[in-house]
A and B are shown apart, each in its own frame.
Chain A
């Protein structure tokens, strides 16, 4: 006699397997976390000139872009290509479990990233925030992470081939970081600076930076938060709608 397994049991098994898989891919896992830390360490001058929140929020944003665009989208594209999702979908388990497990892993990665940046910022650059600042900026990073996970979902929704997903996500990552960082500093002109401020890079970075100093939060930051949520919703909805479990 057959029984339907409990969703919680199936989900926890899947989550454990996804965690092991993530751990075994340590090299990319470490790279995703290490790059923002290296940037933070090499940015002594920036910290002195623009302040700790600017440096920390920039590094967290760079890490979030990497997690969403390179970590999430590439692992989904690769597993879809191998038929791993199809094998899981024929099991008596709701399909949302498959993606929920993946997203939970990315949330753990985001939490790790933020914690590492805070610890590095404190130990190397002596940047300290108020307890409330740590909490608000952590929550802002989670919301910001949703934008880039949504963007990663959009890429795997629109592109089937894993190699094309890989090259597209790398190119998007590079463009986001270069245009975001230099655009924000005004190096690329005032017009682009305004665009960058309201781009996914700018809004995410600004709400994280404002979250680090909750006293500086104003109506423009609330608007930036709403725009951030809008980006996350838009990218995710299109990405989910266009997503195919199988690329055959």
Chain B
């Protein structure tokens, strides 16, 4: 029999407390703490190398932090990794499926891994929903970037996870595909799922995120709703100096808080 997971009774689907991650002597994440609420789209923003992907990797259980705790749906990711992972759907930054397998085979593989019964009708429904019904027999390596992204997202939500982690999901997508992905994220929120995404796009953060956290040099430097962040930083001289059109935008706040210097 499948084992039921202990459900968290509070309103937090994800709780990150005092996270510290080192690579050798380099500290990539410094005492980061934040929560994601149920039914919330939460954006993690930061320049390149700020610590976003390291934070996300720790939440996914791919790397063990030196200190701090991560609790997903009431399950500590290191004490109960399988329970925590069962509550998470993941879309990694790089699309990462076996290029020799077809779209249908990849869906069936992950349905088996996540314990999702996959009838022929359900498979067809998913394929139609992500507009890959005609590409069902195509190998993953033959799909376009947008098609790969859609398949990757469909697999991330295959088991109806409580929390979906998306690492720069719209990078490289055309405007149509990006809009469609935003609508899918909003659809997930309507169903009560939570989404944690990393992004470089301020437009995306403003368009879909209920709250955002800005991370820089491994530290969390701001966390709030996008419009609240803009409002609370309107008089910040660095933000005003970063403004290009007289009107303060989220990007101005981001540049003002993280600086203009290009990161690696």
User: A residues within 8 Å of B by Cβ?
Assistant: 1-6, 9-10, 12-14, 16-17, 20-21, 24-25, 79, 82-84, 86-94, 245-246
In the docked arrangement, what's the CA distance between A13 and B155, Å? 15
Contact with A along B78-93 (1 / 0, CB 8 A): 0001110111101010
Contact B92 A90 (CB under 8 A): yes
Contact with A along B48-89 (1 / 0, CB 8 A): 000000000000111000000000010000000111011110
In the docked arrangement, what's the CA distance between A83 and B167, Å? 14
Among A3, A12, A90, contact of B62 (Cβ-Cβ < 8 Å): A90
Contact B114 A5 (CB under 8 A): yes
Contact B98 A17 (CB under 8 A): yes
A-B contact pairs, 13 of them (CB 8 A): A2-B83, A5-B2, A5-B115, A9-B112, A10-B113, A17-B105, A17-B106, A20-B100, A20-B101, A21-B101, A91-B113, A93-B82, A93-B113
Does B232 count as interface, using CB distance less than 8 angstroms? no
Contact A90 B112 (CB under 8 A): no
Residue of B nearest to A24 (CB): B100
Among B85, B87, B99, contact of A91 (Cβ-Cβ < 8 Å): B85
Contact A9 B99 (CB under 8 A): no
Between A4, A79, A93, the greatest number of chain B beta carbons within 10 A of the residue's beta carbon is seen for A4
Contact B159 A2 (CB under 8 A): yes
Q: How many A-B residue pairs have CB under 8 A?
A: 110
Contact B96 A21 (CB under 8 A): no
The residues of A that contact B82 with a CB separation of less than 8 Å are 4, 92-94
Taking A4-B86, A5-B115 as known contacts, 14 extra A-B pairs with beta carbons closer than 8 A to each other, sorted by chain A number, are: A2-B5, A2-B161, A3-B4, A3-B5, A6-B115, A10-B113, A14-B112, A14-B113, A82-B96, A84-B97, A87-B92, A87-B96, A91-B85, A246-B62
Contact B5 A13 (CB under 8 A): no
Give A7 Cβ to nearest chain B Cβ, in Å.
Answer: 9
User: B residues within 8 Å of A by Cβ?
Assistant: 2-5, 7, 60-62, 73, 81-83, 85-88, 90, 92, 94-101, 105-106, 108-116, 159-162
Knowing A21-B98, A79-B98, A86-B62 touch, does A14 contact B109 (C-beta < 8 A)?
yes
Contact A83 B94 (CB under 8 A): yes
The residues of B that contact A88 with a CB separation of less than 8 Å are 113
Interface majority SS (helix, strand, loop, mixed), chain B: loop
Contact A10 B115 (CB under 8 A): yes
Contact A25 B100 (CB under 8 A): yes
Contact B62 A89 (CB under 8 A): yes
Contact B115 A9 (CB under 8 A): yes
Contact A90 B60 (CB under 8 A): yes
In the docked arrangement, what's the CA distance between A90 and B100, Å? 21
Contact B88 A90 (CB under 8 A): yes
In the docked arrangement, what's the CA distance between A89 and B63, Å? 11
Knowing A2-B73, A2-B162, A20-B101 touch, does A92 contact B92 (C-beta < 8 A)?
no
In the docked arrangement, what's the CA distance between A92 and B3, Å? 12
Residue of A nearest to B139 (CB): A24
The residues of B that contact A94 with a CB separation of less than 8 Å are 82
Residue of B nearest to A5 (CB): B115
Residue of B nearest to A94 (CB): B82
In the docked arrangement, what's the CA distance between A16 and B113, Å? 11
In the docked arrangement, what's the CA distance between A62 and B161, Å? 48
Residue of B nearest to A3 (CB): B2
In the docked arrangement, what's the CA distance between A4 and B113, Å? 10
Knowing A3-B2, A90-B60 touch, does A13 contact B100 (C-beta < 8 A)?
no
